[in-house]
Amino acid sequence: MIVVSWNCRGMAAPSAVSELRSICKYLRPSVLFLMETKASNLSCVRLKRTLGFDNMFCVESRGLSGGLCLFWKNNLSVNVYAWCDSFIKARISVTNDIDWEGIFVYGHPNYMRRKELWNELTYVNNNLHVPRAFIGDFNDVISQHEKVGLHPKPTSQIDTFRRFVDKNALMDLELQGTKYTWFSNPRNGFVTKERIDRVLANWEWRKAFQHATLSALPAVSSDHTPLVLNVKPRGKRSGCFKFEAFWTDHADCGNIIKRGWNSVCNTTVDHWTNLTRRMNSCK
């Protein structure tokens, strides 16, 4: 299943619609999330038909700004249960697969509005067992190295966003294709670059979709790059065992490794055989 997320900066431009057609034709995503559509519900209905989607949920823009829209195909079930100008929450179900929660986010350009949003989206601990992924344009960075520009990101904003990530026990999915997802117009001969579009997932989601990949397409008709989340990529299963670094985030990881390693010890065989058996036990 492929999920595409893009801050399109308005659907009025023919170039944006043309780019979306190309993306949908090439990737055939099951879910498409658009931010800053600057469009009415009727315009989104027309776009749904143009792009070949079966279903849609739209948060209309206010005046000439904002607007969110979620499109999806009939090969999965999407139950939207909460929404506002800054997010759409949905439960996503696929036949013979694990259900998960998708929170499709647009972080407001105003810092105080974003701060309120992070507080609103913070879940209590007893909900952390639900597979959950936050997808979209957060308008925040996790560290200073995610921004290149004339001025650094205020430390208070980074700390606020990091607290949101930590309180929800989220991990940042590695981005392939580019380091930055937003590019400004040249100013004094310098272009500001930031990684503000991302996918944040909790442990349960990452455990359920261990082979999921996140990549970025080139920025063409918008100053944001479209994100492509491939939840279950084909051809990723391999007979070769590979240790996943995110496993160490689990509290029992160290104990499991020790238990596997110490469960095999035979003094009647050579050291190499013992080593091989211990490795297999750990796997």
Report yes or no on whether pTM surpasses 0.85: no
| pLDDT of 51 higher than 80 | yes
* Cα separation of the two ends of the chain: 28
CATH of 2-230, one of 3.60.10.10, 3.40.50.10800, 3.90.550.10, 1.10.1060.10: 3.60.10.10
| pLDDT of 237 higher than 70 | no
Per-residue pLDDT of 173-208, as tens digits, reads 999 888 999 998 877 778 899 999 999 999 999 999
String of DSSP letters for the chain: -EEEEEE-S-S-SHHHHHHHHHHHHHH--SEEEEE-----HHHHHHHHHHHT-SEEEEE--BTTB--EEEEE-TTSEEEEEEE-SSEEEEEEE-TTS--EEEEEEE--SSHHHHHHHHHHHPPPGGGTTS-EEEEEE-S--SSGGGEESSSPPPHHHHHHHHHHHHHTTEEEPPEES-S-SEEPPPBTTB--EE--EEEEEEHHHHHHTTT-EEEEPPPSSSSBPPEEEESS-TT---SS----GGGGGSTTHHHHHHHHHHT---TTS-HHHHHHHHHHHH-
Widest CA span of the chain, in angstroms? 79
**Where do the structural domains in the chain lie, given as residue ranges?**
2-230, 251-282
Per-residue pLDDT of 242-283, as tens digits, reads 777 778 888 888 888 888 888 877 767 777 777 778 888 888
Q: Which distant-in-sequence residues (6+ apart) come within 8 Å of 259 by Cβ?
A: none
CA dihedral for 175, 192, 156, 87, sign (positive or negative): negative
Binning pLDDT at 50, 70 and 90, where does residue 230 land? very high
Task: Pick the more confident residue, 145 or 125.
Answer: 145
